[in-house]
Chain A
Amino acid sequence: MSALLSLQNIWVEYGDKVVLEKVNLDIEAGSFVSIVGPSGAGKSSLLRVVLGQEVPTRGTLLLDGTPLTPECGPDRGVVFQRYSVFPHLSALKNVVFGLECAQAPFSARLFGTARQAARDEAIEMLKAVGLGDSLNLYPAQLSGGMQQRLAIAQALIKRPRILLLDEPFGALDPGIRADMHALITKLWRDYSLTIIMVTHDIREAFTLGTRVLALDKRRHDPHAPHRYGATAVYDLPVRRRIKTTTDEELLAEAASLQENEERMAHE
């Protein structure tokens, strides 16, 4: 089986500064890849390259064997840590937006039955992420966790081939974070998603991922710290128990995670 996404010899350089060097990766459909690494190791750069927001200095990016254009598109969805949702649109309209863009190129608005169909689809998606009661609230009226749920719903409505998460839960409380872990695992399973998640929380990386990549510099020149870039120094498969567990077990696990977090917070 060939990989869904394939990175071949990717380099990212800013002038003299090498951020990523020789990154070779194959990502299988249906995998949940966590990317960890120290600050400045190019985690976010790698994500931006995959997203199309940044053009690699060298190397090619293949999605299903075809090279990707260096521009963002609906085949790759994204959830950032912040600013992922549109503040001027209600939750429902935030999600409908993706459908409107595809179906109404000029007005970017739908009318009549098409509008109703899009609304129904969006409402279903919002219910799936647990925002069924907040359809008409603006993002400013939602809590941080709810905003991230909205951002996820917004991305999933486009059925992206790959969902990219850039420290999506980094700004959330530990309790909320555990809820979000349960949610993203459930969505990953229900919608057969392929997910790449950047995180600085190693435990989160191992709990959620089926594969954990650690980015770091292989070589280091103390006189020229920027001379060498980072690459995947560890590539660990994680055996996921969660995939076969039921929702109840998942919730129990989330609860125990939360307890752990609280205990750690107390210590």
Chain B
Amino acid sequence: MRWVNRHVGRRDSVLLGALPILLLVLLYVFMAAERHAANPMDKILPLPSGMAKGMAALLFQPDQLTGQLVFWADTLASLQRLGLGLGIATASALLIGLVLGVLPPVRAMFGPLVTAIAVIPPIALLPILFIALGLGETAKVALIVIGIAPVMVRDLAAHIADLPREQIVKAQTLGANSWQIMIRVALPQAMPRLIHAVRLSLGPAWVFLISAEAIASDVGLGYRIFLVRRYLSMDVIIPYVAWIALLAILMDVALVQISRRAFPWAHGAGH
């Protein structure tokens, strides 16, 4: 049988998917054990027990200066920045994308501007943001927004502009004006695409968050990683990275579920 025709069932696909991850973990533990056998003080590849010990201090012991549980304070601060950035970017993408997509004159006027902003590397703007907005939360959130919003706007506007011309004409023959076409025809059909755009933007959003936190911050997941790097604390860095990955996966899964529940018509006939 050809490989292109080998379809994998649900249970098998879970097993197959877990296999490489388990192998990588095993490989890591094996290499770590080997290094520790040679040098019990090794910091580069900490054993799981070492990670547990390193993390326990951050998870359960209040920080001496701030009195906060460091890990949870970091998580909260990062999620707040990420949430604000994603929220603002999503809202503006929806608003601007909708207007650009539906109204040709607006597209002609502001399309090139959005494209111009989108091609600027956001990290290059970080110094400007720090100078203009200070080193506080605003600059970090602004970096996330500037980093992901233009791409989302362009994607959404293109998607809406690509709606079949027949639909727009049909809506007009049913008496709809521009506003009604925008809110009843374009907006609902843009929503699943918007959620998709948010999913794709999660990766870049995390990159911009960690970058901003690494450069100027006093709390946050990215800040902690770059702080403990000075002490070669791989026992903290690795669990933090794993935690970030887990958070990103959870957000992605949540977005898929929201899209399936709220917009069944966009997800095939299986509803």
Chain A residues within 8 Å of B, Cβ to Cβ: 51, 53, 71-74, 76-78, 80, 82-89, 97-98, 100-102, 105-106, 108, 138-141, 151, 154-155, 157-158, 160
Q: Judging by beta carbons under 8 Å apart, are B166 and A98 in contact?
A: no
Residue numbers in A under 8 Å from B189 (CB-CB): 86-88
Contact with A along B177-210 (1 / 0, CB 8 A): 1011001110011000000000000000000000
Contact with B172, one of A72, A105, A139 (Cβ below 8 angstroms): A72
Q: Judging by beta carbons under 8 Å apart, are A155 and B164 in contact?
A: no
Provide 23 A-B residue pairs closer than 8 Å at the C-beta atoms, listed in order of the A residue.
A72-B173, A73-B175, A74-B174, A83-B167, A84-B167, A84-B170, A85-B170, A86-B167, A86-B170, A87-B266, A88-B265, A97-B174, A97-B176, A98-B174, A101-B175, A105-B177, A105-B180, A106-B179, A138-B264, A140-B268, A140-B269, A141-B269, A154-B174
Q: Judging by beta carbons under 8 Å apart, are B173 and A77 in contact?
A: yes
How far apart are A166's CB and chain B's nearest CB, in angstroms? 9
Count of A-B residue pairs with CB < 8 Å: 88
A101 vs B185: C-alpha distance when bound (angstroms) = 11
A140 vs B185: C-alpha distance when bound (angstroms) = 16
A89 vs B264: C-alpha distance when bound (angstroms) = 11
How far apart are A46's CB and chain B's nearest CB, in angstroms? 15
Other 12 A-B pairs with CB < 8 A, given A51-B169, A86-B185, A108-B184: A82-B166, A83-B170, A84-B166, A87-B266, A88-B188, A97-B176, A101-B176, A105-B180, A106-B179, A108-B176, A140-B268, A141-B269
Q: Judging by beta carbons under 8 Å apart, are A158 and B183 in contact?
A: no
Q: Which of B171, B175, B180, B263 has the most CB of A within 10 A?
A: B175
How far apart are B171's CB and chain A's nearest CB, in angstroms? 8
Residue numbers in B under 8 Å from A155 (CB-CB): 170, 173-174
A149 vs B265: C-alpha distance when bound (angstroms) = 19
A101 vs B184: C-alpha distance when bound (angstroms) = 9
A137 vs B243: C-alpha distance when bound (angstroms) = 42
The prevalent SS among residues of A at the interface is loop
How many residues of B are counted as interface, with CB atoms below 8 angstroms from the partner's CB atoms?
A: 26
A112 vs B246: C-alpha distance when bound (angstroms) = 46
How far apart are B264's CB and chain A's nearest CB, in angstroms? 8
A101 vs B170: C-alpha distance when bound (angstroms) = 12
Residue numbers in B under 8 Å from A86 (CB-CB): 167, 170-171, 185, 189
Residue numbers in B under 8 Å from A139 (CB-CB): 265
Q: Judging by beta carbons under 8 Å apart, are A88 and B266 in contact?
A: yes
Residue numbers in A under 8 Å from B170 (CB-CB): 78, 80, 83-86, 151, 154-155
Contact with B184, one of A51, A97, A102 (Cβ below 8 angstroms): A97
Residue numbers in A under 8 Å from B177 (CB-CB): 101, 105
Residue numbers in A under 8 Å from B265 (CB-CB): 87-88, 138-140
Q: Judging by beta carbons under 8 Å apart, are A108 and B183 in contact?
A: yes
Q: Judging by beta carbons under 8 Å apart, are A73 and B173 in contact?
A: yes
Question: A88-B266, A140-B269, A154-B174 are contacts. A53–B169 as well, Cβ < 8 Å?
Answer: yes
Shortest beta-carbon contacts, A-B, top 6: A83-B164, A72-B172, A98-B174, A83-B166, A74-B175, A101-B175
Query: Which partner residue on chain A sits nearest B176 by CB separation?
Result: A101
Residue numbers in A under 8 Å from B164 (CB-CB): 82-83
Q: Judging by beta carbons under 8 Å apart, are B173 and A74 in contact?
A: yes
Residue numbers in B under 8 Å from A151 (CB-CB): 170
Q: Judging by beta carbons under 8 Å apart, are A101 and B180 in contact?
A: yes
A77 vs B266: C-alpha distance when bound (angstroms) = 27
Contact with B175, one of A51, A53, A84, A158 (Cβ below 8 angstroms): A158
Query: Which partner residue on chain A sits nearest B184 by CB separation?
Result: A108
Q: Which of A71, A80, A82, A158 has the most CB of B within 10 A?
A: A80
Q: Which of A77, A140, A154, A157 has the most CB of B within 10 A?
A: A140
Residue numbers in A under 8 Å from B171 (CB-CB): 86, 97, 101
Q: Judging by beta carbons under 8 Å apart, are A71 and B175 in contact?
A: no
Residue numbers in B under 8 Å from A80 (CB-CB): 166, 169-170
